[in-house]
Chain A
Amino acid sequence: MFPISAALLDAMVLALVEQAPTYGYKITQDIQNAVHVSESTLYPVLRRLQKSGALETFDRAFDGRNRRYYQITDLGRAMLVQYRKDWTDHKLQIDRILKEDAEL
């Protein structure tokens, strides 16, 4: 219903990865449980965050194959702090208008 912007997607992925290093399939599932984005959206997001230095990867063997984990960097944490602040401000602005006893 509400479109998810690229920035919001970045923020959500950073928040997921901040909790613990995790891998692409898991991230996709977790994001999809919360909002409706297509499965193929996540790779470009992860790649972008990795390129900008917000995430880094390491590989672990799993079930006879490789699993690539993403973990957050200090830069990623700093970005997430800013995203959380921006999101809180954004949410307050929307709520100011939406709430039933609005006092503008």
Chain B
Amino acid sequence: MTADLFLTQLEHCLRCLTQEEKENAMAYYREYLAEAGENADQAAEHLGSPQSVAEKILSEMREAQEEPLSEQKLSSPKSSAGNTALGILILLVTSPFWGTMAVLWLTLLFCLAVILLSLVFSAIFAPVQGISYLMNQLSGEGLWAIGSGLLCAGLALLLWKPMFLLCQQSTKAFFGFCRNSLQTLFRKDS
């Protein structure tokens, strides 16, 4: 990076400082590079990126708990309130989209729960019913009921794990989607 480009970029990075602080820092680095004479470009290279040079100045100010920001930056709470209002508006406007996502997710959870619960209940009560059929000499119905009960038990044993994973993944996906959207909307505030 040439010395001139370094100074231009540094000035841009320091734009949040007060005029006086910025001018002090710029004067220092202008002088510094001028002192390097014909090696000015090399000296600029050694200083590192203008961003990191500016960050050192800013973090020093933060440590000393000074108020480094100029009025331009100080007015930013106002614009961040604007951002929040805008964010809420966007949230409302896009509600058909994320609302549908939420309904889909809840429906999926509900269906999976119902399926699993009915399998478990059938696995328990169908054989009980079957045994009572057998006792009443209804051997056909009894065997059928016991068989279907065992079938449900088998299905429940096979399916509970994939279903559990499906719930977990869909929940993760849904909340991940919400978090990402919110972060995108409110990034400037955080």
Is the CB of A39 closer than 8 A to any CB of chain B? yes
CA distance A26 to B60 in the complex (A): 22
Knowing A47-B60, A48-B60 are in contact, say whether A40-B31 is a contact too (CB < 8 A).
no
Cα distance A47–B28 when bound, in Å? 10
Is A51 a contact partner of B64 (Cβ separation < 8 A)? yes
Q: Are A65 and B60 in contact (CB under 8 A)?
A: no
Binds A, one of B44-52, B149-157, B163-171: B44-52
Complexed CA–CA distance, A40 and B50 (Å): 10
| CB pair B25 A43 closer than 8 Å | yes
Do A24 and B43 have beta carbons less than 8 Å apart?
Answer: no
* Chain B 12-49 per-residue mask, 1 if CB under 8 angstroms from chain A, else 0: 00000000000011011101101110000001001110
Number of interface residues of B (CB under 8 A): 20
- How many residues of chain A have a CB within 8 Å of chain B? 19
Contact (A24, B28) CB under 8 Å given A39-B47, A51-B64: yes
Question: A23-B35, A25-B36, A38-B48 are known contacts. Are A43 and B28 too (CB-CB below 8 A)?
Answer: yes
Q: CB < 8 Å: which of A25, A40, A43 contacts B35?
A: A25
- Chain B residues contacting A39 (CB-CB under 8 Å) are 43, 46-48
8 Å CB contacts to B: which residues of A37-54?
38-41, 43-44, 46-48, 51
- The distance in angstroms between the C-alpha atoms of A98 and B48, with both chains bound, is 36
If the complex has contacts A23-B31, A48-B60, are A40 and B24 also in contact, measured as CB distance less than 8 A?
A: no
Per the bound structure, the CA–CA distance linking A19 and B42 in Å amounts to 29
Binding site for A on B (CB under 8 A): 24-25, 27-29, 31-32, 34-36, 43, 46-48, 52-53, 56-57, 60, 64
